[in-house]
Amino acid sequence: MRIPALFRKYIWLVNTIHRAGRITLAEINDKWMSADISEGQPLARATFNRHKAAIEEIFDIFIDCDRRDGYTYFIGNAEVLEGNTLQRWLLSTLSVGHIVTDNIQLQDRMLLEYVPSGQGALQTVIDAMKNSVAVSFNYTKYGANMSKGVTVEPYCVKLSGQRWYMLGHFSEALADGEHEPGALRVYSLDRISELKATSVHFVMDPDFSPADYFADCYGVTVGDGTRPQRVVVRTLPWLSYYLNDLPLHHSQREIGRCDEYTDFELFIRPTRDFVNHLIGWGDAVKVLEPEFLVETVREKLRRALRQYET
Predicted local confidence at residue 123, as pLDDT: 83
Mean pLDDT of 46-72: 90
Comparing 274 with 122, the larger pLDDT belongs to 274
One-letter identity of residue 208 = F
Q: Does the pLDDT value for residue 176 go beyond 50?
A: yes
- Say how far apart CA 67 and CA 73 lie, in whole Å: 9
3-state SS assignment for residue 64: strand
Please state, in angstroms and rounded to a whole number, the distance separating the CA atoms of residues 182 and 208.
Answer: 12
Burial of 281 (0-12, 13-18, 19+ CB in 10 A): middle
Mean pLDDT on 7-16: 86
Q: How many residues does the chain have?
A: 310
pTM here? 0.72
